[in-house]
Amino acid sequence: MCSNHGNRGVVYTGPGSVEIQDIAYPKLAIGNRKCEHGVILKVVTTNICGSDQHMVRGRTTAEPGLVLGHEITGMIIEKGSDVEFLDIGDIVSVPFNIACGRCRNCREGNTGICLNVNPGRAGAAFGYVDMGGWVGGQSEYVMVPYADFNLLKFPDKDQALEKIRDLTMLSDIFPTGYHGAVTAGVVPGATVYIAGAGPVGLAAAASSQLLGAACVIVGDMNPERLAQARSFGCETIDLRQDATVPDMIEQILGVPEVDAAVDCVGFEAHSHGCSHHKEQPAIVLNTMMEVTRAGGGIGIPGLYVTGDPGASTEAAKTGQLSMNFGLGWAKSHYFVTGQCPVMKYHRNLMQAILWDKVQIAKAVNVKVISLDGAPEGYNAFDKGAAQKFVIDPHSMVV
């Protein structure tokens, strides 16, 4: 069925370069095995993520030819014989984590570190280096395995298309930002510092508000992104200033510390102040320990890698960073790292969107682009555009 379709996708062709290329139309197969538990999706929306940008900048071990894209929302157009609870025509959100639903970690809800979908390590994702070799979804069509377990069906197709700019965030950045806030211990009345005003940082800020935080402070070096954070009620600090982060927080809160902190930057972090042009990969982690109160939590959804060929030091090329861990120990901090287990949160966050409890598309400043516009979107995002680029391969977004 549907094999007469062509397919095109966003392909990483080398550092700084992506192209739209003809790619294979997906099959219900994993290698040489039939995949009766999978579905083929007509991609409704697929988003450009900061994690994609790390690869495109050449800051990972990704090889040219990789089809990118792990933030996917689609319509089922074909399904395997083992798919029982989803139907042709359903519109679904695809968690960026691929999970089997059968292994120990999946059964415990840790779907970001499934044991059966990646021969190299625990955890898999679509279109990402070292994450199992799964074809990415920045394309017209994509295959999703273990569909009954992985996919979140939207209850009403018309409503889904009306709110698709918000719902497309459920595949990754909204749950990821929410996970960062929850694991940092954000509760009603909390004060929160979020490092990074990119889309995940903005999603973490909106999530902190949803969780009832009293004050959300966002730090970045990009004035446009800081303005975007202020647009929905966040306080901001400009990390290009020579003042210390504790001092800038004290100017807002009256004290130089917060209850919870969320690192939404990751391994390409830069120094603060006048030396902000210099890369310093552990600066955010060390700052978090400095500004988080004793006994507080630090959520780390920002990406850290074990292989970074573009790192500024030999140690950082293998993920070894100079952390002031003794400070964190002395202050009894706890740290939560790793991929967000999207399925832990996406149904409730869908309900928050459908019942207008959060305006996530507005918070992250969604801009819808065509598939052919993806290279330009990557370029603008790399230059610091205060936008979240959503690819609409079939012109389905109205």
User: What's the CATH number where 18 sits?
Assistant: 3.90.180.10
Q: List the domain range (segments joined by +) for residue 387.
A: 8-172+341-391
Residues 28 and 144 grouped into a single domain: yes
Tell me the C-alpha to C-alpha distance, in Å, between residue 253 and each of 125, 204, 213. Answer: 39, 19, 13
Q: Are residues 44 and 127 in the same domain?
A: yes
Question: Residue 107 is encoded by which pair of tokens?
Answer: 């059964």
Helices (H) and strands (E) in the chain, counts: 14, 17
Virtual torsion, Cα 83, 84, 89, 92, nearest 10 deg = -70
User: Residue 260: in which H helix or E strand, if any?
Assistant: strand 258-263
Per-residue confidence of the chain (398 residues) as pLDDT tens digits? 445 689 999 999 999 999 999 999 999 999 999 999 999 999 999 999 999 999 999 999 999 999 999 999 999 999 999 999 999 999 999 999 999 999 999 999 999 999 999 999 999 999 999 999 999 999 999 999 999 999 999 999 999 999 999 999 999 999 999 999 999 999 999 999 999 999 999 999 999 999 999 999 999 999 999 999 999 999 999 999 999 999 999 999 999 999 999 999 999 999 898 777 888 999 999 999 999 999 999 999 999 998 889 888 899 999 999 999 999 999 999 999 999 999 999 999 999 999 999 999 999 999 999 999 999 999 999 999 999 999 999 999 98
In a domain, 193, yes or no: yes
26 three-class SS? coil
* Domain shared by 43 and 75, yes or no: yes
- Do 204 and 323 belong to one domain? yes
39 with 164, same domain? Answer: yes
Domain contains 78: yes
**CATH classification of the domain holding 282:** 3.40.50.720
CA atoms within 13 A on the CB side of 286: 14
The answer to whether position 397 is within a domain reads no
Examine residue 396 and state whether it is found in any structural domain, yes or no: no
One domain for residues 45 and 137: yes
How many separate domains does the chain show? 2
Report yes or no on 398 lying in a domain: no
Q: Are residues 270 and 367 in the same domain?
A: no
225 & 328 share domain = yes
2 within a domain of the structure (yes/no): no
How would you class 95 by CB atoms within 10 Å of its CB: exposed for 0-12, middle for 13-18, buried for 19 or more?
A: buried
Please state, in angstroms and rounded to a whole number, the distance separating the CA atoms of residues 166 and 72: 13
Same domain? 168 vs 249: no
Residues with Cβ within 8 Å of 344's Cβ and at least 6 positions away in sequence, in order, are 109, 111, 175, 179
**DSSP labels, 134-200:** BPPSSBSEEEESSHHHH-EE-S-HHHHHHTHHHHGGGGTHHHHHHHHHHHHT--TT-EEEEE--SHH
- Give the residue among 126, 127, 131, 211 at the shortest CA–CA distance from 177: 211
Residue 266 lies in a domain: yes
User: Considering the domain boundaries, does residue 158 fall inside one?
Assistant: yes
350 plus 219 within the same structural domain: no
